Amino acid sequence: MLRSLTAPFVLLYALFPLLLQAAPPRPIPAPPELPVESYILIDYDSGKVLAEKNADKRVEPASITKLMTAYLVDKALAEGDIRMDDEVTISEKAWKMKGSKMFVEVGDRVSVENLIKGMIIQSGNDATVALAEHVAGSEDAFVGYMNHQAKLLGMNATQFRNSTGWPDKQHYSTARDIATLSQAVIRDYPMNYKYYKVKEFTWNNIRQFNRNRLLWKDPSVDGLKTGHTDAAGYCLAASAQRDGMRLISVVLGAKSDKARTIHSQALLNYGFKFFEAPRLYDAGEVLKTVRIWYGDRDRLALGLEQPLSLLIPKGRYKDLKASIEVNAEITAPVREGQEMGRLTVRLDDEVLATRPLVALQSVADGGLVKKATDSIRKLFE
């Protein structure tokens, strides 16, 4: 049984004591209309969509496909199936790949780490196939992994036919699915996300530059991947972080390299200008202290296991409302992390977040004497 306890947003009032006299929030304008096949802009943390056009339309993703290849390479590394210093022998199939190349040679032995750089920074199709073969034994087998992982991530409108994004009418994805994949790349294997912001890489005495031009134009941009074929047009999945807020944009089917850069920048600028993601509570912060019965202590501190930040329109911070619901009676023993209620945050009539409210410490059984004492106290409280 839960009882509702209204909890003031102490953080908000402490930091902004004059909020009640603040000016009304400015309206949020419509997002930019971009002359591309499809696009989407999302908040990384919540996945909330800030702008979209034809976001579920199936299109060829070109070399943005390599995000899934990179994700599965990261997964294999994390699970110990392969290592960064593994020496991969370059096959004839990998060497023969057309399009963008790392310029490895047949029979070369190249480390996994250098192949990752060749795939992400140089968009090398040869490096990508070599990695796929190293993880799964063959590219065909690796494509099976790609499609399985796409389903696990909820990319239900995606089908892969190769590891590189080489043109194939049966090889497709959507802006929404690519945004989902981009979230997973950053979230699940952050230790390897650093490669996406590297601007250049030299292999075989050939210096090549990252095709993501936003890395030079906007210091807040730190990824992700470009793509281009005649069928797909110019594509870019980009991510940027400013003031603790991360956004992901996906632009597909732009007319030129310059256009995809300009359009991606416009989406990111829109999101950062009109939205914010304040930190409301820290992990382990005491949000409520409640009575606990029959334990070796009388009070129990409650809070969140994870920090809580929420994406909101700029100017609406003061309008956030929080409520806490706590179990009607809490009795020992209680273990740290045990759910004791929930926190709900609303903006107007919309529920923005609901999080479990957990015990921040363990409380042991107080023994027979404490149980008898508390039983008498309960009669008077």
Which sequence positions are flagged as catalytic? 63, 66, 123
Distance CA 235, CA 80 (A): 33
Distance CA 354, CA 337 (A): 16
Q: Residue by residue, what is the 3-state secondary structure of 332-380?
A: CCECCCCEEEEEEEEECCEEEEEEEEEECCCECECHHHHHHHHHHHHHH
Per the CB < 8 A criterion, the answer to whether 48 and 74 are in contact is no
CA gyration radius, the chain: 26
For residue 270, with 0-12 CB atoms within 10 Å meaning exposed, 13-18 middle and 19 or more buried, which class applies? buried
* DSSP H or E stretch at residue 40: strand 38-43
Q: What are phi and psi of 131, to 5 degrees?
A: -65, -40
Closest CA to 355 of 379, 339, 333: 339
What three-state secondary structure class fits 111?
strand
Q: Which pairing describes strands 320-327 and 339-347: parallel, antiparallel, or unpaired?
A: antiparallel
Query: What are the angstrom distances between the C-alpha of 40 and each of 120, 132, 151, 257, 266?
Result: 22, 28, 20, 18, 12
Task: Identify the sign of the CA torsion 73, 74, 76, 81.
Answer: positive
Asked, as a colleague might, if the bond just before 278 is cis with ω within 30 of 0, I would say no
Per the CB < 8 A criterion, the answer to whether 59 and 174 are in contact is yes
Distance CA 240, CA 220 (A): 5
* DSSP H or E stretch at residue 112: helix 112-120
Structure tokens at 270: 């829109």
Q: Count the helix, strand and coil residues of the chain and give each as a percent rounded to the nearest 5.
A: 35, 30, 35
